[in-house]
Amino acid sequence: MQYISLLQIAPTLAKFFGITLITRARPVERILESAYSRNPIPPVVVLVVIDSLDCHFYSTCVTELEVLHEFVERDGLLFECETVSTHTTPAIASILTGLRHESHRIITSEDVGKSKINSILEILEDEGTPTAAIMEANGTKPLSGRISYVFAVDDREDIAEYDELIKTHTISVLQKHEVRLVFAHLRAIDRFSHRGWDLRVAAKLTNENMRAIAEAVSEQNGMLLICGDHEMHQKNKRRGKAPATVPLIVCCP
Ligand SMILES: [Zn+2]
């Protein structure tokens, strides 16, 4: 397993799509080689962030997250990524810009939309490459009218229903064949960890949603990137001081 940073996802996508992204983070050549070795070269890339999926949880839930483990075993790539934040909003901003929070300055949901830094979604769209985002309503605000397809899902107590909607919209936007990059954000694992609920239940929900999304990606010969955003915040639990890492799985399901 190769050790990279979450900051390297955006420059990798930028290079794949042939656009310029201003960041010091380097593209991951191994991912590009894998993408270019496909026939056809994937016409669409789907990036799914699974909130709170860290390396410890990923390797603990081999049965509950069997779909993800299968992708890696079949012919996928697995990377261990250094995280750049302990919170969702700045972490996702870093994943989509390739910049640390000191540069993108998106720390809270109030900052979303105020940053002058464009994400890879907006940059691609400006270059004439249609993109889509499926995420919580606050996160989509700055993207509305900026990118081709925006699906805002309102936050709610029933997080299974929330993730179900994210999955449904992700699958439906894959029917729009002009779309080249899709970003989606699943949150059940994070919610369960904050509430101290049975994480195996959340892992199984996530697993089934990823199975359905992967099927839709496969029908389009697309490439699927799945990563966590930060270390899990577990209720009543403190982990050691080892640096937190999250997995990045790259596959053509
Ligand atoms: Zn998060």
Residues 104 and 97: beta-carbon distance below 8 Å: yes
Q: Give the residue among 193, 166, 194 at the shortest CA–CA distance from 182.
A: 166
Residues for the chain: how many in total?
Answer: 253
Residue 242 has what pLDDT?
67
Q: Are strands 181-186 and 223-228 parallel, antiparallel or unpaired?
A: unpaired
- Could you tell me the distance, in angstroms and rounded to a whole number, from the CA of residue 128 to the centre of ligand 1? 30
| pLDDT surpasses 70 at 235 | no
- pLDDT tens digit string along 166-195? 999 999 999 999 999 999 999 999 999 999
- Could you tell me the distance, in angstroms and rounded to a whole number, from the CA of residue 39 to the centre of ligand 1? 34
Amino acid making up residue 145: G
- Could you tell me the distance, in angstroms and rounded to a whole number, from the CA of residue 98 to the centre of ligand 1? 17
Residue labelled with tokens 């012919």? 75
- Could you tell me the distance, in angstroms and rounded to a whole number, from the CA of residue 223 to the centre of ligand 1? 23
- Could you tell me the distance, in angstroms and rounded to a whole number, from the CA of residue 33 to the centre of ligand 1? 29
- Could you tell me the distance, in angstroms and rounded to a whole number, from the CA of residue 49 to the centre of ligand 1? 9
47 φ, ψ (degrees, to nearest 5): -110, 115
Taking residue 22's Cβ as centre, other Cβ atoms within 10 Å add up to: 13
Cα of 174 vs its chain's centroid, Å: 16
Q: What tokens does 243 get?
A: 């640096």
What's the mean pLDDT in 152-158? 96
Q: What is the CATH number of domain 2-37+61-185+209-234+241-251?
A: 3.40.720.10
Residue 85 has what pLDDT?
93
- Residues 236, 196: Cα–Cα separation, whole Å: 8
- pLDDT tens digit string along 25-37? 999 999 999 999 9
What's the mean pLDDT in 61-78? 96
- Could you tell me the distance, in angstroms and rounded to a whole number, from the CA of residue 226 to the centre of ligand 1? 14
The predicted model scores a pTM of 0.95
Residues by chain with Cβ below 5 Å of ion ligand 1: 51, 88, 190, 229
Residue 102 has what pLDDT?
85
Segments making up each domain of the chain, as ranges: 2-37+61-185+209-234+241-251
Q: Give the residue among 7, 62, 54 at the shortest CA–CA distance from 240.
A: 54
- Residues 253, 237: Cα–Cα separation, whole Å: 35
